């Protein structure tokens, strides 16, 4: 791995230390397990996954990758945390998940190797952890086939998101380990849409994700002020 890789070593170390807990639904990754059905259904509703070749960028321990494979997609999950990838591979073996494989490679490197190879690309809860999110967005454009879908999810940057996603989630409710997110790395929807347009993607539907700490329930809504999802497409040639 060279210094030109678009990754923060501290971020990789942070998630590597927790890798063995990825598939424990009551661990620090409980929020990912809870929101995964929402993300999966939203993606599948816009771009039906059965029979599609899907790339999951920043797949971590494979929670989304595994569920997309179980929807009938052929899934490649990539990440730069070797520990998380080993957890993902082990889970796929133990659960006998069909048509899923994992690689330790960056999005940018894979874009050079396999341009225009995927029907659907997902990049969820990852852009706020890299030094240059626009570089990842550009790689997504290169990797997806013309007419294909690219799905992002990340966290807005504003006072409310600081209060909810950092102070609330990490310090008051202990939903996430402290230090999971940095306010300066959060991305406004307008910024992400600009990255997409500059890279050649057409921004499409957005959804917000909300959480009730009393019922411990997540749901999708029109409120994108904290967590949000953005669907984009690469235009047909």
**DSSP state at residue 171:** I
What's the confidence (pLDDT) of residue 27?
84
Confidence at residue 1, expressed as pLDDT on a 0 to 100 scale: 37
Write the burial class of residue 86 (CB in 10 Å: 0-12 exposed, 13-18 middle, 19+ buried).
middle
User: Mean of the pLDDT values across residues 16-33?
Assistant: 81
Average pLDDT over residues 120-144: 96
User: E strands within 156-226?
Assistant: 202-212, 217-221
User: Residue 233 — φ and ψ, nearest 5°?
Assistant: -135, 145
What is the distance between the alpha carbons of residues 105 and 107, in angstroms, rounded to a whole number?
A: 7
pLDDT mean over 64-92:
95
Q: What is the mean pLDDT of residues 153-178?
A: 80
Specify the pairing of strand 217-221 against strand 202-212. antiparallel
Q: List the domain boundaries for the chain.
A: 9-233
Residue 15 is predicted with a pLDDT of 64
How many residues in the chain? 237
Token code pair at residue 15: 């998630």
Place 5 in a pLDDT band, splitting at 50, 70 and 90.
confident
Nearest-angstrom CA–CA distance, 65 and 173: 27
Q: Are strands 144-155 and 118-124 parallel, antiparallel or unpaired?
A: parallel
Strands, E, within 80-216: which ranges? 100-104, 118-124, 144-155, 202-212
Could you tell me the pLDDT band of residue 75, with boundaries at 50, 70 and 90? very high
Residue 138 tokens read as: 């550009």
Instruction: Name the fold adopted by 9-233.
Output: Rossmann fold (3.40.50)
With bands split at pLDDT 50, 70 and 90, how would you rate the model's confidence at 172? low
β-bridge partners, 101: 76
User: Tokens at residue 124, please?
Assistant: 């969820």
């Amino acid at each position: 791995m060279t210094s030109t890789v678009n990754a923060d070593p501290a971020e990789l170390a942070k998630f590597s230390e927790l890798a063995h807990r990825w598939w424990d639904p009551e661990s620090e990754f409980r929020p990912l397990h809870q929101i995964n059905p929402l993300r999966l259904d939203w993606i599948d509703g816009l771009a039906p996954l059965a029979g599609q070749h899907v790339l999951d960028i920043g797949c971590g321990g494979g929670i989304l990758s595994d569920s997309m494979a179980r929807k009938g997609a052929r899934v490649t999950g990539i990440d730069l945390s070797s520990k998380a990838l080993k957890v993902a591979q082990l889970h796929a073996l133990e659960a006998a998940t069909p048509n899923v494989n994992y690689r330790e490679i960056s999005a940018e490197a894979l874009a050079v190797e396999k341009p225009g190879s995927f029907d659907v690309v997902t990049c969820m809860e990852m852009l706020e952890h890299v030094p240059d999110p626009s570089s990842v967005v550009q790689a997504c454009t290169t990797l997806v086939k013309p007419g294909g879908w690219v799905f992002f999810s990340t966290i807005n940057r504003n006072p409310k998101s600081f209060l909810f996603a950092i102070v609330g989630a990490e310090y008051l409710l202990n939903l996430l380990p402290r230090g999971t997110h940095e306010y300066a790395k959060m991305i406004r929807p307008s910024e992400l849409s600009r990255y997409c347009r500059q890279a050649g993607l057409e921004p499409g539907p957005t959804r917000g994700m909300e959480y009730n700490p009393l019922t411990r329930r997540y749901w999708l809504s029109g409120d994108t002020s904290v967590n949000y999802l953005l669907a984009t497409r690469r235009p047909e040639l």
